[in-house]
Structure 1
Amino acid sequence: MPLLAYKERHILSPQQLRKLTEHKYSCFSASLLDPLLQPWWNWLVAQTPLWLAPNLITIVGLILNIVTTLILICYSPNGIDPPPRWTCFLCALGLFVYQSLDSIDGKQARRTNTSSPLGELFDHGCDSISTIFVALSACISCQLGHYPNWLFFQCFCAIALFYCAHWQTYVSGTMRFGRIDVTEAQFSIIAIHLVSAALGPEVWLTKMPYLECETRYLPFYIASGVDLSLALRYAKSILNEGCGKNGSSVAGTSVLSPSIPLTLVVLPALMIAQKSPDNIFTEHASVFILAFGMVAAKITNKLVIAHMTKAEMEYLDWSLLGPGLLFLNQYFNCIVPEIWLLWFTLAWSTQDLLRYCAQVCLEICHHLRIELFRIPYSPKVSNTISVGSQSNFGADKNGGTSHRKSKSKAH
């Protein structure tokens, strides 16, 4: 929709709601860790009360993840000051809780026979927000603020790759997880936090034996290699696996069309960070990442909805107002202090994301006659909790035919 035609009500058209009702989640996972973690997830969901709604499980995990990361950010907002060890441990704990809860919400949905397309959308929405905080917390734990370019690269790589995962889903109709993917990345970041908690964040400043570089570079060199591998895999899927007419997307649109919203977020962020006379990114790294991360989360949610409703991806959005003002302010020699506009961007993009997600959830709940955080009847227990095949591992973890795990769910 055009930028000036933003509407708070009726975000989803009747046709989109009908398509959403018909949507079937398709996922494949070859993850190394997921099969090993199934016994833990199955035990955990067995301890979960039957009255606990799957979406409530997801949101509780997300809130814990956000709170623990914000505590870490408070002690090291620029990623330079070493945070207390206990804050790193809290981040590790918060991420582990989120990962575990995100992995059982789909199981809980199937267990209580409360699966619906809303679960997939809600899970993806929570993941889009969690990605920002997880990436930023890892960089702060390693004190990567000493190298702003690396900090920018790692955080925006995480944001862009999460978007690309849903881009390839929009094109191919199936979400795919490789042998090293989301679960492996989450546990790697948990390990980084635990090392910082046990040995102190300063350990990442020490030189590695026989190598002329600091220890902090080791995880990020590895991460960069994984990022490149994922990017190539997504690019191959996007260019060659279009499931629509003549190799188009699920909506029959160009497979390259989702690149426009992503470019409108990443490119202005890079230009603003590099050209800022006040070094706004270096001095306020956490606020910068969170502000642009919320904008990216909004467009990712719109991409997920476009996929689930087989609709055309919208290019412009009101969340781009903040980045646009920052860009124009620099063009006119910063007539307004940049930090003011940066905080405005964070506040605006956050409220815009929350209002959008809330309105979409309300419309879907009304259409499907369900409730978001409550099971309005006594659930009947399903006999099947665990999964048996590799493809079902993906469903549990990422969305299943109903709810699913955090990487993409649907209940």
Structure 2
Amino acid sequence: MLLYSERVLSDRELKKLGEHKYSSSCQSLLDPAMQKFWNWFITLVPLWIAPNLITMVGLMVNIITTLILVAYCPTATEIPPWWTTALCAAGLFIYQTLDAIDGKQARRTNTSTPLGELFDHGCDSISTVVVSVASCCAVQLGIHPGWMLFQCVTASTLFYCAHWQTYVSGTLQFGTIDVTEGQIVVMGVMLLSSLSSALGIPFWTSELLLVLSPCQLLTCFGATCGFISLLTPGGTIDNILNAGAGKSGSTVADTSVLSPSLPLLLVIVPAWVIAYKSDQAIYHSHPILYVLMFGLIAAKMTNRLVVAHMCKSEIHHRDPVLLAPLALFLNQYFNTFFPEDWLLKISMAWVMFDLVRYCSLVCLEICDFLKVDLFKIPYPPPSSPVQVPSSQTKPVQGPMTRNRKKTSKS
């Protein structure tokens, strides 16, 4: 099972997934206003377009705009051309919009399935990584590599913890200031970066009061808000410890509420240790590649946690994607036997391959079990379109903190 020589999901897990019902709680400040735009926009989408295809298009736009920005900022220290950050802001807006309407499309076409929710969360986990990297490039955070690693690790951690809470309580919960608000802040940062670049003003690298630069202050503010959401009474950590929906306060799978902690630690600890124990400065030489690799490892772990929640199964701690940080760690332990830059590139290739393979196998197994297509719907749709109520909301996913799911497809 470690290398997927057998099926990823058992018959019992598929049966539980087929019975899964989506549950969420969202109190976002900006969602009600945005819903008016999203409810109008969905009327422009043809009924023959599959909800998962909408999600995938949004993700691809997000990835492509980020890659263009990274091409001009390979170390996140360069001043990006004004149009690259403006393009990233547009890409994030498109992603936010398409991510918000995929569930509405599923209800319009009567094609809601648990696969839709899982596919949406999977795309959200990858979007969290790429938007974090784009944010670092936009504000030249690579000038402060420690802050950059902290920002990217924090984003992945908060996203994982949101689903950890869901695995425990059975309900995806979002606060008053959450992902929709975070995404809009990121778009504003991108546009501000575009303006400062166009005017030739080094806004992000100047120092305020000779202490912190604006990019450092922004990172501190974002991380502080995230940790407040984790630590406040009724917040994520409180719900993890006290809101178990299983027997005797356990998870929905009747496992320990602390069981998802080890996969998270297997990402966070190696990310910091390998970065600062390297005698070849592997992180400082290749910051974008490094944070992308560990971000995608965190995305894989989050996807497995989402599957465990929807299938009400135990989350396993062995995973082939962890071979990448293990290889880097062992190489350092044995006095850097292989050049670290080459090993990092090989590890990144393995992480991408393993993530795509795992997601593909899970989706194909679910499609086969539910007798549905991933990117196609019957045309004409199975029944007449369903009117989407204007008050319907979908929990949010996003780059800075958590998953957007305001209109679940399940």
Q: TM-score range by the shorter chain?
A: over 0.9
Amino acid at match of 2:353: Q
TM-superposed CA distance for 1:140, in Å, is 1.1
SS at match of 1:36: helix
Aligned counterpart, 1:41: 38
Which amino acid is 1:370 matched to?
A: V
**Of 365, 373, 385, which residue of structure 2 is paired with 1:382?**
385
What residue number does 2:55 align with? 58
Shift of 1:157: 0.2
SS of corresponding position for 1:202: coil
- Verify: 1:127 aligned to 2:129, yes or no: no
Question: Aligned runs of 1:139-178 on 2, under 5 Å?
Answer: 139-178=136-175
Worse-superposed segment, 215-224 or 108-117: 215-224
- Distance between the aligned counterparts of 2:41 and 2:404, measured in 1? 13
Counterpart residue identity of residue 216, structure 1: C
1:277 maps to 2:276: no
Structure 2 residue aligned with 1:231: 230
Displacement of 1:271 in angstroms is 0.3
CA contact (8 A) 2:153 2:268 kept: yes
Q: Which residue of 2 aligns with 1:362?
A: 364
Aligned to 2:202, the other structure's residue is in SS state: helix
- Using the size of structure 2 for normalisation, the TM-score is 0.94
| Residue 24 of structure 2 corresponds to residue 22 of structure 1 | no
Please give the per-residue CA displacement for 1:349-408, whole angstroms capped at 9, x wherever unaligned. Answer: 1111101111111110111010000012311343421342xxx4246x57xxxxx95568
Indicate conservation of the 8 Å contact 2:394/2:408, yes or no.
Answer: no
How large is the Cα RMSD of the aligned pairs? Answer: 1.6
Q: Secondary structure at the match of 2:25?
A: strand
Question: Which residue of the other structure, out of 335, 345, 354, is the alignment partner of 1:343?
Answer: 345
Q: Which secondary structure state, in structure 1, belongs to the residue aligned with residue 173 of structure 2?
A: strand
CA–CA distance in 2 between the matches of 1:98 and 1:253? 35
Question: Any residues of structure 2 matched to 1:68-87 within 5 Å, and which?
Answer: 68-87=65-84
Task: After superposition, give the CA deviation of every residue in 1:278-328 in whole Å (9 maximum; x if it has no partner).
Answer: 111111110001111111111111100000000000101000011000000
Percent of aligned pairs with the same residue? 51
**Match in the other structure for 2:400:** none
CA drift of 1:231 comes to: 2.0
The alignment status of 1:195 with 2:215, answered yes or no, reads no
Measured at CA, do residues 405 and 357 of structure 1 come closer, stay the same or move farther in structure 2, by a change above 3 Å? same
User: Residues 143 and 170 of structure 1: is their aligned pair in 2 closer, same or farther, counting only changes over 3 Å?
Assistant: same
Q: Distance in 1 between matches of 2:276 and 2:404?
A: 37
- Larger mean Cα displacement after TM superposition, 155-164 or 72-81: 72-81
* Amino acid aligned to 2:76: G
Q: Deviation at 1:220?
A: 1.8
Alignment correspondent of 2:295: 293
The amino acid that maps onto 1:393 is T
Kindly indicate whether the alpha-carbon contact (under 8 Å) linking 2:107 and 2:386 is maintained by their aligned counterparts in 1: no
CA contact (8 A) 1:177 1:394 kept: no
Q: Are the counterparts in 1 of residues 124 and 404 from structure 2 also a CA contact under 8 Å? A: no
Check conservation: 1:123, 1:408, Cα contact below 8 A. no
Q: How does 1:177-192 map to 2 (within 5 A)?
A: 177-192=174-189
Q: 1:250 to 1:179 in 2, by over 3 A?
A: same
**8 A Cα contact 2:394 2:405, kept in partner:** no
Gaps of 5+ in 1: 399-403
Seen in structure 2, the aligned counterparts of structure 1 residues 260 and 352 have a Cα distance that, compared at 3 Å, is same
1:257 aligned partner? 259
Deviations 1:91-147 (A, max 9, x none): 101111001000000000001100000000000000000000101111111101111
Aligned partners of 2:244 and 2:155: how far apart in 1? 24
* Shift in alpha-carbon separation, 1:169–1:345, aligned structure 2, 3 A: same
CA distance in 1, matches of 2:217, 2:272: 25
2: CA distance, partners of 1:20 / 1:89: 40
The equivalent of 1:204 in structure 2 is 204
Query: Match for 2:129: what amino acid?
Result: I
Normalising by the residue count of structure 1, what TM-score does the alignment of the two structures yield? 0.94
Alignment check: 8 A CA contact 1:107 1:386 kept: no
